[in-house]
Amino acid sequence: MSSSLDYNAYLALIEKNLYAIGGPIIIILGTICSIISLFVFCQKKLPSLDRVLVTSPNALTRQRSTLRLAYKSVIIGTLFWMLFHSHTLFLVDFYELAPGYFVCYFQPGLYANLIGYYSTIVRGILMFALLIIFGIWTGKNLQNVNRHRIIPIAHTSVNTLGNQENMIRSKNRQFALMLLMEILINIVFYAMLSITGIYEQIATNESQTTFYYFIRIVASFIGNIPVCASFMGNLFISK
């Protein structure tokens, strides 16, 4: 009995230190990275609605990636996800799973099942699939742009054309690496949360141990890392 209490207390201590130490770090870094990204986004030469539109070989499609449309998308998307996740303010509570072991978790029943399906289907399957699909789509667009790009010959030396060609290839390679980095970051840091969501749906009729809830909480913490990791990865590649 005492060993079980010590084990639960040890897990609770890890959770407490994880959020007490790591939580503020992620909040500070995430806020700084978001502010810097906002400054970059506000530059007229830098923003784009998404990579698929801006890399499309169709000129009419590229014209849709405007600053006004981007602002609307950001505002609407922010408001939508704020409202979509507002239920956690009211439907999450503290539960004592074992003597001395408390967790902040979703209310059991239908609500917890819906959250499990959301983590499994939306964040575990749909998000990864869309990242890969749009990543491949963007890569094909870059290849088509390079293949059909017309270089003016008049008043242009061979060295200048070569330098322009090398610069464009370098930028496209850098762009592709940034895209690949973002996909890998999201897959790596969301994989643990997706796996726990799948396990939760499989083991709904079984008694879930304190260790499972510990893993679930750790996975939720790790799922917040891409907020700042994506910016750091892009900054590293751009250098």
Q: Count of CB atoms within 10 A of residue 118's CB?
A: 14
Percent of the chain topping pLDDT 70: 75
Tell me what pLDDT residue 84 has: 86
Residues 6+ apart with CB under 8 A from 184: none
Residue 238's alpha-carbon distances to 13, 52, 142, 146, 181, in angstroms, are 39, 20, 18, 20, 12
Rounded average pLDDT over 111-125: 79
* Cβ contact 201:193 at 8 Å: no
pTM > 0.85: no
Parse the chain into domains and list their residue ranges.
2-47+85-238
pLDDT digits (tens, 9 = 90+) for 197-217: 777 667 655 555 677 778 878
pLDDT digits (tens, 9 = 90+) for 155-166: 555 555 556 666
**Mean pLDDT over the full length of the chain:** 74
Tell me what pLDDT residue 46 has: 46
d(CA 18, CA 221): 8
CA atoms within 13 A on the CB side of 155: 0
Which two three-digit tokens encode residue 5?
């209490």
pLDDT digits (tens, 9 = 90+) for 70-88: 778 778 888 988 898 888 8
Lowest-pLDDT choice from 43-47, 93-97, 124-128, 226-230: 43-47
Rounded average pLDDT over 102-106: 75
Tell me what pLDDT residue 40 has: 63
Tell me what pLDDT residue 17 has: 84
The 3-state secondary structure of the chain reads CHHHHHHHHHHHHHHHHHHHHHHHHHHHHHHHHHHHHHHHHHCCCCCCCCHHHHCCCCHHHHHCCCHHHHHHHHHHHHHHHHHHCHHHHCCEEEEEEECCEEEEEECCCHHHHHHHHHHHHHHHHHHHHHHHHHHHHHHHHHHHHHHHCCCCCCCCCHHHHHHHHHHHHHHHHHHHHHHHHHHHHHHHHHHHHHHHHHHHHHCCCCCCCHHHHHHHHHHHHHCCCHHHHHHHHHHHHHC
